[in-house]
Structure 1
Amino acid sequence: MSTVDADRLRVWQALSEFFLDTDVDLSFDGVVQRLAQSGYTPDQVQSILWNEVYPVLHSNLQSMAGEWAGWSDAFLEAHLVVRPYSPGMPARGRIGAEISRCWDEVLTRWARLKTS
């Protein structure tokens, strides 16, 4: 039985794509679509990214043989923890910079989506 609401799980799924050992630039539009449909605001999604998803999945980007196929819903529900809203602070270092770049791209595309 799921302890996480379906919208939050969809946000976790979408954001987890940034942590795969794949070319994330190919998936931005799909990620943005799913985030925009989630019902969460960009600020809420940013909090989820830095406070829930990043702490658990960032190590995949440090692995020589990182996950590339994605994580199951069961894995995400077992390892990620819902946290109260907090303005997420971007992490430092190479991985933090890459995730910040991804987040900036999401915000740009999300804003375009709202105006179209």
Structure 2
Amino acid sequence: MSDICATRLQLWQALSELFLDNEASEATLDGIARTVCASGYAHAEVERILWAEVYPVLRHNLNSPAGEWAGWSDAWLLSHLRVNGSSRRPRNTAVAREIERCWRCVLDRVEGKR
């Protein structure tokens, strides 16, 4: 796996934690922030990855009565998520608002690590 693919997978792993069927803890948000910082990607690019690559596939988990709460394997993420250059934002739904709130918490932590 190339370094670019490995970094993208690490971002997908970290960002996917926002879509688990449980409340994102302080430790989870801190971990995501560390991954964002270590990725080398600009924050705007990570946000685009969140909305264009992770959100479209994993958002449904937060609407499921028995959603995933333990996480997705690397193999699952690699087979279901795709690098996508889109910058389209999701509609204003309850799930999108919750992900946006969590993302802002991550960014607050990222800004604190500079």
Instruction: With the length of structure 2 as denominator, give the TM-score of the two structures.
Output: 0.91
**Superposition pairs for residues 76-91 of structure 1, below 5 Å?**
76-84=77-85, 86-91=86-91
State how far apart, in whole Å, the 1-side matches of 2:88 and 2:108 are: 18
Identity of aligned residues (%): 50
Q: How does 1:5-84 map to 2 (within 5 A)?
A: 5-26=5-26, 27-84=28-85
Q: 1:14-43 deviations in whole A, cap 9, x for unaligned? A: 000000011213310011001110111101
Query: C-alpha separation between the residues in 2 aligned to 1:104 and 1:78?
Result: 28
Q: In structure 1, what is the Cα distance between the partners aligned to 2:79 and 2:110?
A: 29
1:88 & 1:106 partners in 2: Cα distance? 21
The TM-score, its normalising length taken from structure 1, stands at 0.89
Structure 2's unaligned 5+ residue stretches are none
Matched positions, count: 112
Over aligned residues, Cα RMSD in angstroms? 1.6
Q: Gapped runs of 5+ residues in structure 1? A: none
SS in 2 for 1:8: helix
Name the CA shift for 1:30/1:24 in 2 (closer, same or farther; >3 Å): same
SS in 2 for 1:75: helix
**Range that drifts further, 35-44 or 53-62:** 35-44
